[in-house]
Amino acid sequence: MDLPNAGAGVNGDDAERDLPLKNAVEAVLFVSPDPLPLKKLGRIVGASPDELKAVIAELRAEYEGRGVELAFVAGGYRFFSRPEYASWAKQVLPVEKAPRLSRAALETLAIVAYRQPVTRVQIEEIRGVNSDAVLKTLTDRKLVVTDGREDVPGRPFRYRTTKQFLHYFGLTGLNDLPPLEVSSEEE
Protein backbone atom coordinates (compact mmCIF):
# COMPACT_ATOMS: atom_id res chain seq x y z
CA MET A 1 0.00 0.00 0.00
CA ASP A 2 3.00 2.32 0.02
CA LEU A 3 2.96 3.16 -3.65
CA PRO A 4 3.93 6.82 -3.67
CA ASN A 5 2.19 7.85 -6.91
CA ALA A 6 -0.88 5.88 -5.91
CA GLY A 7 -2.71 6.56 -9.13
CA ALA A 8 -6.12 5.24 -8.23
CA GLY A 9 -6.63 8.53 -6.50
CA VAL A 10 -8.31 7.16 -3.44
CA ASN A 11 -8.14 9.73 -0.73
CA GLY A 12 -7.87 7.42 2.22
CA ASP A 13 -4.30 6.18 1.75
CA ASP A 14 -2.25 5.85 4.89
CA ALA A 15 0.61 7.84 3.42
CA GLU A 16 -1.71 10.50 2.10
CA ARG A 17 -3.55 10.93 5.37
CA ASP A 18 -0.43 12.47 6.84
CA LEU A 19 -0.04 15.06 4.14
CA PRO A 20 -1.39 18.50 5.06
CA LEU A 21 -4.76 19.28 3.48
CA LYS A 22 -3.57 22.80 2.75
CA ASN A 23 -0.81 21.49 0.51
CA ALA A 24 -3.15 19.15 -1.31
CA VAL A 25 -5.54 22.03 -1.98
CA GLU A 26 -2.67 24.20 -3.15
CA ALA A 27 -1.39 21.50 -5.51
CA VAL A 28 -4.82 20.73 -6.92
CA LEU A 29 -5.73 24.39 -7.47
CA PHE A 30 -2.33 25.02 -9.00
CA VAL A 31 -2.66 22.36 -11.69
CA SER A 32 -6.37 22.72 -12.38
CA PRO A 33 -7.13 24.08 -15.84
CA ASP A 34 -10.41 25.59 -14.58
CA PRO A 35 -11.58 27.31 -11.43
CA LEU A 36 -12.59 24.59 -8.99
CA PRO A 37 -15.89 24.85 -7.17
CA LEU A 38 -15.73 24.08 -3.46
CA LYS A 39 -17.77 20.91 -3.91
CA LYS A 40 -15.51 19.43 -6.54
CA LEU A 41 -12.42 20.39 -4.58
CA GLY A 42 -13.95 18.70 -1.55
CA ARG A 43 -14.62 15.49 -3.46
CA ILE A 44 -11.04 15.39 -4.71
CA VAL A 45 -9.18 16.04 -1.48
CA GLY A 46 -11.82 14.45 0.75
CA ALA A 47 -12.62 17.41 2.96
CA SER A 48 -15.75 19.21 4.14
CA PRO A 49 -16.65 22.70 2.89
CA ASP A 50 -15.80 24.12 6.32
CA GLU A 51 -12.37 22.52 6.37
CA LEU A 52 -11.77 23.76 2.85
CA LYS A 53 -12.86 27.28 3.62
CA ALA A 54 -10.45 27.46 6.53
CA VAL A 55 -7.60 26.11 4.43
CA ILE A 56 -8.37 28.47 1.54
CA ALA A 57 -8.41 31.42 3.91
CA GLU A 58 -4.97 30.34 5.16
CA LEU A 59 -3.66 30.00 1.61
CA ARG A 60 -5.03 33.39 0.64
CA ALA A 61 -3.29 34.97 3.59
CA GLU A 62 -0.03 33.28 2.67
CA TYR A 63 -0.22 34.59 -0.87
CA GLU A 64 -0.95 38.12 0.32
CA GLY A 65 1.55 40.61 -1.11
CA ARG A 66 3.03 38.08 -3.49
CA GLY A 67 3.17 37.73 -7.26
CA VAL A 68 0.30 35.29 -7.32
CA GLU A 69 -3.15 35.34 -5.73
CA LEU A 70 -5.87 32.81 -5.06
CA ALA A 71 -9.09 34.16 -6.56
CA PHE A 72 -12.71 33.06 -6.61
CA VAL A 73 -13.99 33.31 -10.18
CA ALA A 74 -16.89 31.81 -12.13
CA GLY A 75 -17.95 29.77 -9.15
CA GLY A 76 -14.57 28.32 -8.32
CA TYR A 77 -11.10 28.91 -6.93
CA ARG A 78 -8.04 29.43 -9.07
CA PHE A 79 -4.55 30.89 -8.85
CA PHE A 80 -3.82 33.95 -10.96
CA SER A 81 -0.82 36.16 -11.36
CA ARG A 82 -1.47 39.57 -9.84
CA PRO A 83 -2.38 42.38 -12.23
CA GLU A 84 0.61 44.52 -11.16
CA TYR A 85 2.92 41.98 -12.76
CA ALA A 86 0.95 41.66 -15.98
CA SER A 87 3.43 43.47 -18.20
CA TRP A 88 6.07 40.88 -17.32
CA ALA A 89 3.83 37.85 -17.12
CA LYS A 90 2.32 38.36 -20.53
CA GLN A 91 5.72 38.20 -22.15
CA VAL A 92 5.83 34.45 -21.66
CA LEU A 93 2.29 33.91 -22.91
CA PRO A 94 1.01 33.38 -26.42
CA VAL A 95 -0.95 36.29 -27.85
CA GLU A 96 -4.66 35.65 -27.98
CA LYS A 97 -6.16 36.00 -31.42
CA ALA A 98 -9.40 37.48 -30.15
CA PRO A 99 -9.04 41.17 -29.43
CA ARG A 100 -10.75 42.89 -26.54
CA LEU A 101 -14.46 43.45 -26.96
CA SER A 102 -15.79 46.43 -28.88
CA ARG A 103 -18.14 48.95 -27.29
CA ALA A 104 -21.05 47.49 -29.23
CA ALA A 105 -20.16 44.00 -28.03
CA LEU A 106 -19.86 45.09 -24.41
CA GLU A 107 -23.19 46.88 -24.61
CA THR A 108 -24.96 43.90 -26.12
CA LEU A 109 -23.35 41.65 -23.56
CA ALA A 110 -24.54 43.91 -20.76
CA ILE A 111 -28.11 43.65 -22.05
CA VAL A 112 -27.90 39.86 -22.27
CA ALA A 113 -26.31 39.66 -18.83
CA TYR A 114 -28.96 41.72 -17.06
CA ARG A 115 -32.03 40.68 -19.02
CA GLN A 116 -31.39 37.03 -19.78
CA PRO A 117 -32.92 35.11 -21.36
CA VAL A 118 -33.46 37.74 -24.02
CA THR A 119 -34.18 37.67 -27.75
CA ARG A 120 -32.38 39.56 -30.47
CA VAL A 121 -35.42 41.76 -31.04
CA GLN A 122 -35.51 42.70 -27.37
CA ILE A 123 -31.82 43.59 -27.50
CA GLU A 124 -32.33 45.67 -30.60
CA GLU A 125 -35.24 47.52 -29.00
CA ILE A 126 -32.89 48.71 -26.30
CA ARG A 127 -29.86 49.39 -28.49
CA GLY A 128 -31.86 50.87 -31.31
CA VAL A 129 -29.68 49.21 -33.94
CA ASN A 130 -29.33 45.85 -35.64
CA SER A 131 -27.33 43.55 -33.39
CA ASP A 132 -26.99 40.48 -35.56
CA ALA A 133 -23.26 40.75 -36.24
CA VAL A 134 -22.49 41.59 -32.62
CA LEU A 135 -24.45 38.60 -31.34
CA LYS A 136 -22.59 36.42 -33.81
CA THR A 137 -19.25 37.67 -32.46
CA LEU A 138 -20.35 37.07 -28.87
CA THR A 139 -21.59 33.60 -29.75
CA ASP A 140 -18.37 32.76 -31.57
CA ARG A 141 -16.43 33.82 -28.53
CA LYS A 142 -18.67 31.64 -26.38
CA LEU A 143 -19.66 34.57 -24.17
CA VAL A 144 -23.35 34.04 -24.97
CA VAL A 145 -25.33 31.00 -26.13
CA THR A 146 -28.83 30.47 -27.38
CA ASP A 147 -31.04 28.88 -24.78
CA GLY A 148 -34.29 27.67 -26.28
CA ARG A 149 -36.78 29.81 -28.12
CA GLU A 150 -39.23 32.44 -26.99
CA ASP A 151 -42.84 31.32 -27.21
CA VAL A 152 -43.95 34.13 -29.53
CA PRO A 153 -44.62 34.15 -33.29
CA GLY A 154 -41.44 33.36 -35.16
CA ARG A 155 -40.13 31.53 -32.08
CA PRO A 156 -36.93 33.59 -31.89
CA PHE A 157 -33.86 32.33 -30.04
CA ARG A 158 -33.29 33.42 -26.50
CA TYR A 159 -29.75 34.30 -25.48
CA ARG A 160 -28.03 33.96 -22.15
CA THR A 161 -24.48 34.42 -20.89
CA THR A 162 -22.11 31.49 -20.40
CA LYS A 163 -19.63 30.36 -17.80
CA GLN A 164 -16.98 31.68 -20.16
CA PHE A 165 -18.59 35.10 -19.67
CA LEU A 166 -18.06 34.86 -15.91
CA HIS A 167 -14.48 33.75 -16.52
CA TYR A 168 -13.76 36.52 -18.96
CA PHE A 169 -14.86 39.23 -16.57
CA GLY A 170 -13.62 37.53 -13.44
CA LEU A 171 -17.13 37.36 -12.01
CA THR A 172 -18.04 34.96 -9.24
CA GLY A 173 -21.52 34.45 -10.65
CA LEU A 174 -24.35 36.45 -12.17
CA ASN A 175 -25.19 37.91 -8.77
CA ASP A 176 -21.68 39.36 -8.75
CA LEU A 177 -22.76 41.81 -11.47
CA PRO A 178 -23.15 45.30 -10.03
CA PRO A 179 -26.82 46.29 -9.82
CA LEU A 180 -28.07 48.02 -12.93
CA GLU A 181 -28.29 51.76 -12.38
CA VAL A 182 -31.76 52.92 -11.51
CA SER A 183 -32.89 55.13 -14.34
CA SER A 184 -32.69 58.66 -13.02
CA GLU A 185 -36.43 59.08 -13.47
CA GLU A 186 -36.98 56.81 -10.51
CA GLU A 187 -34.52 58.60 -8.27
CB of 21 to other proteins, least distance (A): 18
How far apart CA 166 and CA 149 sit, in angstroms, is 23
Measured from the CB of residue 72, what is the shortest distance to a second copy in angstroms? 16
* 47 counts as binding a second copy under rule CB under 8 A: no
Residue from 41, 109, 118, 138 that binds other proteins (CB under 8 A)? Answer: 109
Q: Which residues of 23-33 are buried (b: 16+ CB within 10 A; e: fewer)?
A: ebbbeebeebe
Q: Which helix (H) or strand (E) holds 17?
A: helix 14-17
Report yes or no: 79 and 30 within 8 Å, Cβ to Cβ: yes
Q: What is the dihedral of CA 98, 160, 173, 79, to 10 degrees?
A: -30
Residues within the interface to other proteins (CB under 8 A): 1-5, 7-8, 30-34, 68-69, 71, 78-83, 86, 89-90, 93-96, 98-107, 109-111, 113-114, 126-130, 133-134, 168-171, 177-178, 180-181, 183-185
Residues within the interface to a second copy (CB under 8 A): 4-11, 13, 15-16, 19, 22-28, 30-34, 36, 40, 44-45, 65-68, 79, 81-94
